[in-house]
């Protein structure tokens, strides 16, 4: 089971938007609406920011949004803030073997 | 509030075994599936295993299948990961996480496992 593909890095100035892609296959990202996104600050545990492709848990700011097209999911962070500087990981359920797979991770830098 | 506290990590020699625990509180533990996820030093997240709410269904990553066993004791609100035949590449911080709608909505702070001679 191969990791989902994410760009290693992304950046933007405060107030700008950044979009991170997450590419899988028809067995995971493309086959199910069970894509989630996690934010991880250095030395901390990951925290969920998106589930089921585009749903936000309570307490997550509206500037985090998710979408999916075919085998690629995307996370957009609008109105970048300094505290958004972190690593971001996508994840998907893989129905071919009832497993889960994470993305390779993207480091977001706020310039 | 939901709390997940991992324990049991440490330094272990290659080929030996170790059992991790995850103590849960703040939610009805017996109603939710639970995951183990690991992160090697400086690397990304790797999903390890998932266990259904009642322990009847369990699935593993290929990298640990046959060596690791996930289990739970709903009377003690505790999740376990029994790790055997440990390898240096199993060195990582191990997180337990609560499942909801095929996502991991709460995570513990992790416990470090170092496999080294």
Cα B86 from Cα B19, distance rounded (Å): 11
In the predicted model, is pLDDT for residue A108 greater than 90? Answer: yes
A52 touches chain B (CB under 8 A): yes
- What is the predicted pLDDT for the residue at A18? 97
- What is the predicted pLDDT for the residue at A1? 73
Low-confidence ranges of chain B (pLDDT < 70): none
- What is the predicted pLDDT for the residue at A41? 98
Residue A20, token pair as written in the block: 């991170």
- What is the predicted pLDDT for the residue at A83? 96
Q: pLDDT, tens digit, for every residue of A71-107?
A: 999 999 999 999 999 999 999 999 878 899 999 999 9
* Angle (nearest 5°) at CA B31 between B28 and B35: 100
C-beta separation of B33 from B52 below 8 A: yes
Q: pLDDT, tens digit, for every residue of B20-30?
A: 999 999 999 99
Cα A57 from Cα A50, distance rounded (Å): 7
A residues 58-97 lying closer than 8 A (beta carbon) to B: 87, 89, 91, 93, 97
B105·A100 Cβ contact <8 A: no
C-beta separation of A37 from A88 below 8 A: yes
Q: How far is A65 from chain B (nearest CA, A)?
A: 16
A101 touches chain B (CB under 8 A): yes
Cα A70 from Cα A28, distance rounded (Å): 10
B102·A36 Cβ contact <8 A: yes
Which of A45, A103, A105 lies at the smallest CB-CB distance from B95? A45
Q: pLDDT, tens digit, for every residue of A8-66?
A: 999 999 999 999 999 999 999 999 999 999 999 999 999 999 999 999 999 999 999 99
Q: What would the 3-class secondary structure string for B74-91 be?
A: CCCCEEEEEECCCCHHHC
C-beta separation of B37 from A99 below 8 A: no
What are the chain A neighbours of B107 within 8 Å (beta carbons)? 45-47
Q: Could you please report the per-residue DSSP string of B4-32?
A: EEEE--EEE-TT--EEEEEEEESS-GGGS
B residues 51-70 lying closer than 8 A (beta carbon) to A: 57, 59-62
- What is the predicted pLDDT for the residue at A97? 83
Cα B11 from Cα B18, distance rounded (Å): 9
Cα A66 from Cα A46, distance rounded (Å): 17
B107 touches chain A (CB under 8 A): yes
Residue B38, token pair as written in the block: 């690991």
Strand, coil or helix: A75: strand
Strand, coil or helix: B117: coil
- What is the predicted pLDDT for the residue at A84? 97
B104 touches chain A (CB under 8 A): yes
């Amino acid at each position: 089971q191969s990791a989902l593909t994410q760009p290693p890095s992304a950046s933007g100035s405060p107030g700008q938007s950044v979009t991170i892609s997450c590419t899988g296959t028809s067995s995971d990202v493309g086959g199910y609406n069970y894509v989630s996104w996690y934010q991880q600050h250095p030395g901390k545990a990951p925290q969920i920011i998106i589930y089921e492709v585009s749903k936000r848990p309570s307490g997550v700011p509206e500037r985090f949004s998710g979408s999916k097209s075919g085998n690629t999911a995307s996370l957009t962070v609008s109105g970048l803030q300094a505290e958004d500087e972190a690593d971001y990981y996508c994840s998907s359920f893989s129905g071919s073997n009832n497993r889960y797979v994470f993305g390779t991770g993207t480091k977001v830098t706020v310039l | 509030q939901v709390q997940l506290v991992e324990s049991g990590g440490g330094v272990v020699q290659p080929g030996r075994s170790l059992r991790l625990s995850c103590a849960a509180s703040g939610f009805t533990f017996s109603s939710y599936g639970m995951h183990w996820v690991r992160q090697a030093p400086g690397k990304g997240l790797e999903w390890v295993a998932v266990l259904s709410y009642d322990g009847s269904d369990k699935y593993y990553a290929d990298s640990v299948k046959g060596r690791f066993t996930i289990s739970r004791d709903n009377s003690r609100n505790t999740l376990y990961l029994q790790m055997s035949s440990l390898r240096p590449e199993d060195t990582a911080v191990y997180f337990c996480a609560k499942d909801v709608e095929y996502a991991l909505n709460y995570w513990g702070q992790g416990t470090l496992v170092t496999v080294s001679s």
